[in-house]
Amino acid sequence: MIERLLCPSMMCANYGHLADEVRALDDAGVDIFHCDIMDGTFVPNFTMGVMDVQTIRRYTDKLVDCHLMIENPGNKVDWFIKAGANIIYIHPESERYVVKTLAHIKEMGAYAGIAVNPDTSVASISEILNLCDYVMVMTVNPGFAGQAFIDFTRKKIKQLVDLKEEYGFRIMIDGHCTPQVIEELSGLGADGFILGTSAIFGKNRPYKEIVKELRGERV
């Protein structure tokens, strides 16, 4: 079985106790802290910013990623890398110079990622996969938590699984990652999952217990 990278989506965390949330998730054994950055233009919502990333970085040594759902992300990637992000995802639709921006992310010492919307084809990103350390498949439309899984994205995931060994990227899944979806898509070859309200937050259970279950371990 492929090791499952478990990545809590921190926009779903309790911001009244953010430091405690980070510590508890870290102690539970999550792999990557996922930060959704939205500008209200590329997607119709505002969420996290540089100061949130800095706060999360302060309380964990684990990897931190930033999913930039913003216009012209190439102008802002330095902000988030300097704030402590290890992985930066951009959307090809929002960036005029995608290759330049991905290369710059790597030059800054971070991992480069592409976020693939439900209506973005694998063919349209095939020429930039050699620059990607991570490819994140959006199985919902970006912008809001709590949406239903879009069934036809499974085909895209299968296409990327066939390509990941050639290019060396990891496949991450973002959107309605229930325990059942995690089990199924891990079996298809997906490497990691963004965990929101469908899997980990708002469950009134210890994070450590939930993380063990999502890894297929006995509690």
Active-site residue, from 36, 65, 133, 191: 36
* Residue 193: C-alpha distances to residues 25, 72, 100, 179, 182 (Å): 15, 26, 27, 10, 7
| Residue 133 annotated among the catalytic residues of the structure | no
* CA within 13 Å, CB half, 13: 27
Q: Cβ contacts of residue 177 below 8 Å, gap of 6+?
A: 139, 193, 194, 195, 196, 198, 199
Residue of 52, 65, 174, 191 marked catalytic: 174
Active site annotation includes 27 = no
The sheet with strand 134-138 has its strands ordered as: 5-8, 192-195, 170-174, 134-138, 111-116, 87-90, 63-69, 32-38
CB 77 within 8 A of CB 100: no
Q: Where do the H-state alpha helices sit in 136-219? A: 153-167, 179-188, 207-214
Residues 153 and 137: beta-carbon distance below 8 Å:
yes
What number of other Cβ atoms are within 10 A of residue 210's Cβ?
22
Residues labelled as active-site residues: 36, 174
